[in-house]
Structure 1
């Protein structure tokens, strides 16, 4: 479980990573690892620490699909939208899943248990269509398996992740 937003902790994270070569991405990843997302309140802090504009920080956050601006659900299902997965009907499967659970890309179910995100290649092209659930890659999906995966993630007992 991620920690709640905390200015002091964010300041520590920025200071710990500020001295790295090309520190912005490590800072953003560390903030997201800690809080589950990159809070808007952190952007001016990063800009000041790195002596760059807020627009520059915002541009990096918005460019990379992996960064979130709000907390994700308890489980994160990333569905590959790259060419190999598209050629194996991954896009149609994803659209059906999103329709069935009433979400758009990047959305989180009302119960907060599942976020569905797009990703653009998991490196499982030979096992397309592919997904990743909570960091675990899954290949050779079909529609039924994808729906089961989402259902199971939403209905797991709270103590498990």
Structure 2
């Protein structure tokens, strides 16, 4: 994640990233990814400057932003936990892992986490896979999940 200077606002960072992407063909998706990487989400107030810079309608930008489940328009509550639920991971137990994650993260005293489903992290040969705080984890089990989440307690 790109760090913001203390005085920079989210719209300042959006403006910087728009300037980087504005003349590139097909810039919308890479721009949205870069904004989310930098801020942790794509603020709703970014839609208008993005649309204007890329010569798109606000509806087009909003449509792309809301179509893809990857993008958030509000900051995530706590550490982002993404469990892959695509076919290869599902065949190796990701549904049980996701259910375990729901139970564990609902317990009092657990670090504040935001659980998300994702569909393919590219670790199909090492499934089930997940991402916790931007770090990939492969061949996950309930026990490994518990250890990873417990380690977040020191940083959450």
TM-score, L = length of structure 1: 0.80
How far residue 20 of structure 1 moved from its aligned partner, in angstroms, is 0.9
Is 1:9 matched up with 2:7? no
Indicate how the Cα distance of structure 1 residues 112 and 36 shifts in structure 2: closer, same or farther if over 3 A, else same.
farther
1:33-72 aligned at under 5 Å gives the runs: 33-72=37-76
Identify the residue that residue 144 of structure 1 maps to in structure 2.
Answer: 143
Aligned residue pairs: how many?
152
Indicate how the Cα distance of structure 1 residues 115 and 5 shifts in structure 2: closer, same or farther if over 3 A, else same.
farther
Query: How big is each residue's C-alpha offset from its partner over 1:19-38, in whole Å with a ceiling of 9 and x where there is no partner?
Result: 11111112212221222110
Query: How big is each residue's C-alpha offset from its partner over 1:115-134, in whole Å with a ceiling of 9 and x where there is no partner?
Result: 22221112222222111223
- CA separation in 1, counterparts of 2:9 and 2:38? 9
Identify the residue that residue 91 of structure 2 maps to in structure 1.
Answer: 87
- CA separation in 2, counterparts of 1:157 and 1:25? 31
How far residue 145 of structure 1 moved from its aligned partner, in angstroms, is 1.4
How far residue 74 of structure 1 moved from its aligned partner, in angstroms, is 5.1
- CA separation in 2, counterparts of 1:79 and 1:42? 28
**Root-mean-square deviation (Å):** 2.7
Contact 1:5 1:35 in 2 (8 A): no
